[in-house]
Amino acid sequence: MNKLLLLLFVLFSCSGIKAQKDAPTTDTLRNMIAVAPVNTNLFGTSNMIYYKRFINQMGPYMIYYRAGIGLFDRFTNEDDADRLIDPVSPDRRSINFNFGLEWYRPAGDFSITFGPELGYTRASFFEDFVTLEQGRVFSLEGLATERNFALEKSFYRSYNLAWFVGLRYHIGRHFQFGIESALGWSFYRLENQYVEGANQINPEFTGIIRELAIGRHFILEVNF
């Protein structure tokens, strides 16, 4: 994990130094807001929003920092038909943070994007025993939940590293939409906590997940 973080830090630093060789044009739009109403991930679908800031240019490539936040609104494993969830106080909450570096290559009405991204995911479940259902190599079946009233909370945390690539179609100068795919690794920790006095050992699981998401983001972007 430390080696991966060091590699990403060096990559960020080198890109900024090399980019100083090419000055951006005066009409370059430096800010971008990206909304991904469909964001495929380990859990299912979430809403994601990014802010991107132009930092420099290297040849035909424009380079952006990107920072995003997502709130999960649907999970891969649906609730049982007879299970009622209080809409005011939901029993599942999760949030995701991403930070990355994006190379942006215009090509006519299209643009190709790619780069590395770091992420942190945290999810909590109330009165659910949670386990991970993994595939053989890539893909993840999701988080399997089983109702257990002896449990107080369960937590899922992961530190994520991904390499993404995307394609955008431009509608004028200020708008574009497209798709983004990603290949990544997640270092996760899963904890199930029983209520006090349950006389149960709190089980913990850790491991590495390899993820391949072909349709990770369906995205709409606004430049200004």
Q: What is the pLDDT of residues 113-123, one digit of tens each?
A: 999 999 998 88
Q: Domain spans of the chain?
A: 2-81+90-119+155-183+210-223
- Rounded distance between C-alpha atoms, residue 198 and residue 152, angstroms: 10
Q: Is residue 200 predicted with pLDDT exceeding 60?
A: yes
If we measure between CA atoms, which residue out of 200, 209, 211, 204 comes closest to residue 189? 204
Q: What is the pLDDT of residues 64-76, one digit of tens each?
A: 999 999 876 544 4
If you average pLDDT over residues 175-192, what whole number do you get? Answer: 90
Q: Is residue 181 predicted with pLDDT exceeding 70?
A: yes
If you average pLDDT over residues 132-145, what whole number do you get? Answer: 61
- Cα-only R_g, the chain: 20
Q: Is residue 61 predicted with pLDDT exceeding 90?
A: yes
What pLDDT sits at residue 212? Answer: 81
Enumerate long-range contacts of 103-108, CB under 8 Å, 24 or more apart: 103/61, 103/62, 103/63, 104/61, 104/62, 104/63, 104/64, 105/60, 105/61, 105/62, 106/60, 106/62, 106/170
Please give the CATH topology (third level) of the domain spanning 2-81+90-119+155-183+210-223. Porin (2.40.160)
- Rounded distance between C-alpha atoms, residue 54 and residue 103, angstroms: 10
Q: What is the pLDDT of residues 1-43, one digit of tens each?
A: 554 455 555 554 554 444 444 555 556 789 999 998 766 655 4
- Tell me the torsion sign for CA atoms 117, 8, 205, 96: negative
pLDDT over 90, % of the chain = 31
